[in-house]
Amino acid sequence: MHLVAIGGSDAGISAALRARELDLDTEVTVVVADAFPNFSICGIPYYVSGEVAHWRNLAHRTIADLEATGMGLRLDTVARRIDVEGRKLLVTEADGTEELISYDELVVGTGAVSVRPPIHGLTGPAALGAEDGVHLLHSMGDTFAVMRTLEEHVPASAIIVGAGYIGLEMAEALVARGLSVTQMEQLPEVLPTVDPEIGALVHRQLADHGVDVRTGTTVRSIAPGAAGDPGRLRVEATTTDGQDVVRSVDMVLVVVGVRPDTELAVSAGAAIGQRGAIAVDRCMRTNLPHVFAAGDCVVTHHRLLGETYLPLGTTAHKQGRVAGENALGGNRVFAGSLGTQVVKIFDHAVARTGVRDHEAIEGGFDPVTVGAEADDHKAYYPGSHRIAMRFTGDATTGRLLGVQLFGHKHAEVAKRVDIGAAAIFHDMTVDDISALDLSYTPPLGSPWDAVQIGAQAWVRADAQRRLGDTRAR
């Protein structure tokens, strides 16, 4: 039995590890396009900031650790074509040598690639690149290019295009390095995966730490500076009210999301689904015989919404593990995602799980969202922090649908959103949250935990709404 996994990131490595756990006689080969298997892409901003001292520390496991499990690594080897009928994979090594690798089962974990928005100067044959100080950021290669710009050119200013998770983390990283940072986001508020009320708190946190945040601003072009401004970049943008914005900076970072990397699988006949991602069932099987797929290149089963596309490292790890087990004859099912995420912004953190109102409506629910605030622990014990919360529940059934939190980085925001994620996973109502037996000591919590206070605020608001409906009738 020979299992081949394409991709050395979360999904491919997780599939390979699971296969080796289950059957030590199975030969496992992982084809990795670069020399950096099992590296934490999520950790890149913290290497850029200097908080992670060396890039090698970003490895979840070293090459030696991976090889010690018995898997074989084919580094700097690019998968070119899948021969589905012959069960062979054509690869090209770094020196250009081509080889056909036979497989019994194949796991495709090609991940995602950075989106290139239609900005003049970023696309086309004359597009500016890393050597010009214009960067995308999704791989270790991208990371090294950013670090070369920072270390060799010592830029004093930067524009970040995009204010999602990576954009926010990179704003903090560049500020930590002493750069003057402007963040441009075309949507009305930063971090569009949360409600504007929470996004506004994130916006304020960025501004309080010196980031010039420009929401409702679409970048039109990036070009070299004028003759009297050598080595710099001219960025032109337009606001939603038609105002022109022009900035001259030393570097530009474009981080506006990713798209699934599906060319290899699609060229072999793989079907596609949401957002052009590879269609898989919940066992991670594609429509191709003996071919599984997992991670950022595939559709995601969402526990509330059904099929969607939601690229997350945590999801890729789980899907890869399912694919690796089923490739060996198992029948494990991917339980589904809730889009649970958390990000640190300077001294604070924001987290979310489940769905927001517009997503809930698309999923056939009748959502009601209620905001609340609570202390992270008893206020009489020094160092307490307020947590802003938004709870979304179904107006008909009371089922918990979503939780959003914003608070100080020491307020356990990440673990508190996990309570919400576990509750949604198990189809609990908002009212059920109050019945949970959660821990308490004054320095760390309250008899009613903050998330229970937020849930109770929703229940009270729902009762008032129902009473109002009754009186109206």
pLDDT in tens, 84-116: 999 999 999 999 999 999 999 999 999 999 999
What is the reported pLDDT for 124?
83
Is residue 247 within 8 Å of residue 182, measured between CB atoms?
Answer: yes
346 pLDDT tier (thresholds 50, 70, 90): very high
Helical spans, DSSP H, in 74-132 = none
Residue 240 neighbours by CB under 8 Å, 6+ apart: 188, 216, 217, 218
Q: What angle do CA 37, 318, 7 make, to 5 degrees?
A: 30
Residue ranges of alpha helices (H) inside 192-335 are 196-208, 263-267, 313-327
Q: Residue 362, by phi and psi: left (phi above 0), alpha (psi -120 to 50) or beta? A: alpha
Task: Write down the pTM of the prediction.
Answer: 0.94
Per residue in 290-320, pLDDT tens?
A: 999 999 999 999 999 999 999 999 999 999 9
pLDDT tens for each residue of 226-267 = 766 777 999 999 999 999 999 999 999 999 999 999 999 999
Q: What is the per-residue pLDDT across 161-188, written as a single tens digit (0 to 9) for each? A: 999 999 999 999 999 999 999 999 999 9
Interstrand relation of 88-92 and 98-102 (parallel, antiparallel or unpaired) = antiparallel
Of 10, 28, 9, which is closest to residue 327 (Cα–Cα)? 28
Q: How far apart are CA 327 and CA 175, in angstroms?
A: 46
- Residue whose C-alpha is closest to residue 255's, from 143, 334, 338: 143
Alpha helices (runs of H) in 23-164, residue ranges in sequence order: 44-49, 63-68, 140-148
CA dihedral of 291, 292, 295, 299, whole degrees rounded to 10: 100
Place of tokens 């709870």: 391
Q: What is the mean pLDDT of residues 269-281?
A: 97
Q: Is the pLDDT of residue 325 over 70?
A: yes
Query: How far does CA 119 lie from the centroid of its chain?
Result: 23
CA–CA–CA angle 424, 430, 432 (5° rounding): 90
Banded model confidence at residue 473, pLDDT cuts 50, 70, 90: low
Strands of the 212-215 sheet, one edge to the other: 134-136, 251-254, 157-161, 180-185, 212-215
Domains of the chain: 2-111+259-327 (3.50.50.60), 130-254 (3.50.50.60), 341-472 (3.50.50.60)
The 3-class SS string of 136-171 reads ECCCHHHHHHHHHHHHHHCCCEEEEECCCHHHHHHH
Q: Is 261:276 a contact under the CB 8 Å cutoff?
A: no
Residues annotated as catalytic are: 42
User: Which residues have a Cβ under 8 Å from the Cβ of 373 and sit 6 or more positions away?
Assistant: 386, 387, 388, 389
